[in-house]
Amino acid sequence: MSKPNVIFQIVRRGGSLFSLIKKLWQHPKGRVGLILVSLLVLTAVLAPVLAPYDPYDVTQRAAKGLRPSLQHPLGTSITTGQDILSMLIYGSRVSLMIGVSTGIAIAFLGALMGVMAGYIGGFADSLIMRVVDVLLVIPTLPLIIVLTNLLGRSYFVIILVFVAFGWTGLARVIRSMVLVLKNSNYVKAAELAGASRWYIMTKHILPGTSHLIIMNTTLTCAGIMVAEAGLSFLGLGDPTAISWGKMLAEAQGGGALLFGAWWWILAPGAGIFLAVFSFMRIGIVMEEVFNPRMKASSGIYKLFKHLNNRYLDEVFRSMDDEGDPVTSEGSDTPPPPLSGGGHD
Amino acid sequence: MKRSYVIKRILYAIFIFFIVLTLNFFIPRIGVRDPAERYYPPQGAMSEIEYEIIQQFTREQYGFDVSTFQQYLRYLRGLARFDLGTSLRPGSPKVTELIGQRLPWTLVLSVSTLLISLVIGLLFGTLAAWRRGRWQDTMLLNASTISVALPAFFIALMLSFYLGFKLELFPAYTNPNMVAQFDWSWEAITVVFNNAALPIMSMTLGGIVGYSQTTRNSVIAVTNEDFVITAHAKGLSHRTVLYKHILRNAMLPLATSIGMSISGLIGGAIIIERVFNWQGMGTLFLEANSTNDYPLMMGIMLFLSAFAILANLVTELFYVILDPRVTVGDRR
């Protein structure tokens, strides 16, 4: 089975991507998230059209430290007189690009590792879980700082490092899910019918985890956006691009706090907040849609507070300790596929 | 049975630590064959002999003058004596010494953050679980989303702006003389906590929400257990059931998250320390980063990893001792 087919399977399971979006749209919170995310995407794509000034163009810079006015809706910076609104609009490109591409890459790597660990088991499982254990104890932010220092401060490297250390959480979730699916009747039937391991993995196991993968991806995107903002704030992002974290760092370094230029701090902060918030909203609503039992609950969003979601450790520990992952789910049935158990 | 499990966990922790310290040794060597070539390329009118001397000196300074395997052995031998190597700073201070100087200042932040957010989080979490589905619970849910979406360093900037510069309640920027003038007198301690107020505040906001969420979830999980239903059926008062049966058992997951968050707090304080220029481990790490001081950076990393491994081990053992339901097996 080729790769596009796998993606197709993930999205298609029990309904199309369209029906997923429709479900999100029908949910009041999900609608807010969808609107915000589409606005964000539009802003990022149309940045050169929307931005009143070109933030990279040094010849257009206005008077320094202007308060918000009609000419400059969010004012200008104190140090260089750059238009804040234009910077804000251009900054959305970085956040979105890094967040989404890292999220998708993590989805692939995490799903692959999780399925391998869960389905193949044995040596592959213990190897992957040892790697996860090691990655969990190494402090993430310092390690990312060291690696960007060594490999260069381009966005490619930053994404690479985020992916290399961000997949552990998803792999653990998927692994436990696969352990449940592995013992289900339809997988056993496929095995008896002589299906190959690869076939079962891509055709039966992976689609069964698709809802988890999609949900986790939106939450990972949100988490990565916060992490990227932090990295840029420390001056460790790509030095050539305008990003929200870098704007905040420039604002602090340029004396925005001292001279009371609140617009210079609030704008990028609001940008980060809205972007992360909308992605998280979608993730949380997805959780409710996919798993109505867990409605209004569960703090799954807490998982992505850190790159490695540590809360899951507790979940896993309790699952492993109780010996049977199924019982801790409180149900014998595998979780509903994408279309099942919709939110009413 | 239990003893063999404990020994297994300890051996596993040592195994993980060994892998981490090996990685720690090899990470700075990614793409760096020869530090002399990387950091000191020949410049201007430099004679060959001069350059040779500079190369020689740089290699010695970075410890690259012997083969990689010998360097590794040297590194292990140093670690056995709790020696994390020598910093490249002027005066070549020991890495352990530098960490020792800065660790207490980071602990001031992280321990107070931990205590404050733990106490408040426990209260809120229990309240939210007790009033499940009511407005208290919904508020916590919304607060969780907001606290993740608002990065701690942005909160720190806003606090520094309003409470520091506008209202002048607390120092917006750490007093640079605080560390040098510290002498355990009552005034010095007041100064420290006055300066620490804003960093602690910006870190606790996230922590409170995190612990509330953990508490809430584990209290709800315990509330559905059979022994709680039994306790209610015996006719015990709500208060007794809450304190004696629910909270006591709900503490276990919380203990786990404390163990894990301690190391996270120390490492995660990097950005907050930068905002307020707090002279802790975070700023030490960033200083090391900006000067390519790899021995110091890797020393801090190893220290934090060791701390995390130890914290995980202790909570794991704690769990086994405290929770009789934990079946002792060695899967995972």
| CA-based radius of gyration for chain B | 25
Residue of B nearest to A273 (CA): B149
- Residue A300 and residue A313 in one domain: no
Least confident of A51-65, B17-31, B212-226: A51-65
* A158 token code pair: 């930053």
Do B207 and B114 touch, CB atoms closer than 8 A? Answer: yes
> Is A132 within 8 Å of A168 (Cβ atoms)?
yes
Torsion of CA B145, B151, B154, B159, to 10 degrees: 60
Domain B95-322 = CATH 2.40.40.20: no
- Cβ distance A150 to B31 less than 8 Å, yes or no, reads yes
Q: A residues 271-330 near B, CB within 8 Å?
A: 272-273, 276-277, 280-281, 284, 296-299, 301-302, 304-306, 310-311, 313-314, 316-318, 320-323
Q: What is the pLDDT of residues A127-138, one digit of tens each?
A: 999 999 898 888
Answer yes or no: is A262 within a domain: yes
Give pLDDT tens digits for B286-303.
999 888 888 888 899 898
Contacts of A262 in chain B (CB under 8 A): 161
Domain total in chain A: 2
Are residues A218 and A264 part of one domain?
yes
Looking at the predicted structure, is the pLDDT value of residue A10 above 60? no
User: Within a 10 A sphere around the Cβ of B211, how many other Cβ atoms?
Assistant: 25
Read off the pLDDT band of B325 (50, 70, 90).
low
Average pLDDT across chain A, whole number: 77
| Residue A39 CB burial class (10 angstroms; 0-12, 13-18, ≥19) | middle
The whole-angstrom separation of Cα B304 and Cα B290 is 19
Task: Give chain A positions within 8 Å (CB) of B125.
Answer: none
Verify that A313 and A242 share a domain, yes or no: no
Q: Minimal CA–CA distance to A312: which of A187, A158, A129, A159? A: A129
Residue A326 has a pLDDT of 38
CATH number of domain containing A208: 1.10.3720.10
Whether A1 is in a domain gets the answer no
**Residue B107 clears pLDDT 90, i.e. is over it:** no
pLDDT for residue A9 is more than 80: no
Q: pTM surpassing 0.90? A: no
Question: What is residue B20's predicted lDDT score, i.e. its pLDDT?
Answer: 92
**Other beta carbons within 10 Å of B30:** 10
- Tell me: the pLDDT tens digits for B168-217? 888 878 877 777 777 788 888 888 888 888 899 988 888 888 888 888 88
Which among A146, A151, A233 has CB closest to B301?
A146
Question: Does A12 map to a domain?
Answer: no
Least trusted range by pLDDT, from A197-211, B35-49, B102-116:
B35-49
Token code pair at residue B48: 């060959």
- All residues of chain A having their beta carbon less than 8 Å from the beta carbon of residue B332 are 129, 316-317, 320
pLDDT of residue B187: 82
Res A336: pLDDT? 39
Which one of B20, B145, B157 has the shortest CB-CB distance to A277? B145
Q: For residue A342, what are the domain limits? A: 309-344
Q: Please report residues of A whose CB lies closer than 8 A to that of B305.
A: 137-139
Chain B residues touching A305 at Cβ < 8 A: 148, 206, 210
pLDDT band at A310 (very low <50, low <70, confident <90, very high): very low
* Interchain contact B302–A (C-beta under 8 A): no
Of A178, A170, A180, residue with least CA distance to A215: A170
More confident residue, A188 or B330: A188
High-pLDDT (> 70) share of chain A, %: 78
H helix or E strand, kind and range, residue A167: helix A155-182
Q: pLDDT by residue (tens digit) across A238-248?
A: 888 889 998 89
Candidates B30, B154, B210; nearest CB to A150: B30
pLDDT at A298: 41
Residue A9 lies in a domain: no
CA separation (Å) from A234 to A150, B66, B120?
A: 16, 35, 30
Q: Taking the mean position of all CA atoms in its chain, how far away is CA B147?
A: 19
Which residues on chain A are in Cβ contact (under 8 Å) with B253? 314, 318
Give Cα separations from B135 to B130, B142, B148, B291 (angstroms): 11, 10, 20, 51
Mean pLDDT of chain B: 82
| Ramachandran angles phi, psi of A76, nearest 5° | -125, 165
Claim to verify: residue A213 and residue A335 sit in the same structural domain: no
**8 Å CB contact of B214 and A299:** yes
Using a CB–CB cutoff of 8 Å, tell me whether B106 touches chain A.
no
Higher pLDDT, A337 or A121: A121
- A272/B216 Cβ within 8 A: no
Residue A140 and residue A116 in one domain: yes
Task: Give yes or no: residues A130 and A168 share one domain.
Answer: yes
Q: Rounded mean pLDDT of B318-328?
A: 66
The domain segmentation of chain B, as residue ranges, is 3-80, 95-322
Answer whether residue A218 is part of any domain: yes
Residue A288 lies in a domain: yes
Rounded distance between C-alpha atoms, residue B13 and residue B259, angstroms: 15
The letter for the amino acid at A249 is: A
Structural domain includes residue A88? yes
pLDDT higher for A306 or B69?
A: B69
A99-126 tens-digit pLDDT: 999 999 999 999 999 988 988 888 889 9
Please report, to the nearest 10 degrees, the dihedral formed by the alpha carbons of residues A293, A297, A300, A306 taken in order.
-170
Q: Residue B116's pLDDT is what? A: 92
What is the rounded distance in angstroms from the CA atom of residue B243 to the CA atom of residue A109?
44
Nearest residue, CB atoms, B217 vs list A136, A296, A298: A298
CB atoms within 10 A of CB A215: 21
Q: What pLDDT, in 10s, does the model give residues B238-285?
A: 888 888 888 877 877 777 777 777 777 776 788 888 888 888 888 999
Does some domain include residue A146? yes
Please say if the pLDDT value at position B68 is more than 60.
Answer: yes
Q: Identify the weakest region by mean pLDDT among A158-162, A338-342, B108-112, B322-326.
A: A338-342
Integer CA distances (angstroms), A170 to A51, A112, A176, A213, in order:
37, 10, 10, 8
- Whether A196 and A290 map to the same domain: the answer is yes
Confidence band for B327, pLDDT divided at 50, 70 and 90: low
